[in-house]
Amino acid sequence: MDTLIPIAEQIAGKLVARGETVAISESSAGGLISAALLAVPGASAYYRGGGVIYTPKAFKHLLGLTREDLGDMRSSTEPYARLLANTIRGKLAADWGICETGASGPTGNAYGDAAGHTCIAVVGPGRFEMSTTLETGLTDRAENMRLFARDALEVFLATLG
């Protein structure tokens, strides 16, 4: 967490200065993205909420999405990450939505992605959408979780400028 909080502090400063908010949907990072953002004092000014969307039940009950909403999309892809980022943003009426979805390890996921694979999406004002894929090449679950969270926070920080 110590390596994530300085990034979260920079994000917090930018969001507070702009009067903007963020909502998080994460899976393989296991809540570390939200934890880092919440570790910054005054988080209620910019953090709307989030969820660890780790199972189909969480997908259905926390996001209100169905299999039909996915079409031919699958988890752990950039289109899926953009869908979930948009969904959590809308559900929580936030200016920004972030999604992280992947395979933390020590093995890959059911879709054939290797451990260390994650997709991150950021959506925001003015129909802004971007996504990226990270491949760490590691099987260390805890380290991948930290790296996934760090990458999501860094991508969001870069987006904020």
CATH assignment of the domain containing 120: 3.90.950.20
- Please check the confidence at residue 159 and state whether its pLDDT lies above 80: yes
Mean of the per-residue pLDDT values of the chain: 96
156 and 128 in contact (C-beta within 8 Å)? no
Is residue 40 domain-resident?
Answer: yes
pLDDT in tens, 46-74: 999 999 999 889 989 999 998 899 899 99
C-alpha distances (whole Å) from 19 to each of 11, 13, 45, 74, 92 are 12, 10, 8, 34, 16
Is residue 88 domain-resident?
Answer: yes
Predicted TM-score (pTM) of the model is: 0.96
Is residue 97 domain-resident?
Answer: yes
pLDDT of 102 reads: 96
pLDDT in tens, 19-49: 999 999 999 999 999 999 999 999 999 999 9
Is residue 73 domain-resident?
Answer: yes
Is residue 32 domain-resident?
Answer: yes
Q: What is the extent of the structural domain holding 76?
A: 5-138+153-160
Is residue 147 domain-resident?
Answer: no
Domain count, the chain: 1
119 sits in the region (left: phi over 0; alpha: psi -120 to 50; else beta) called: beta
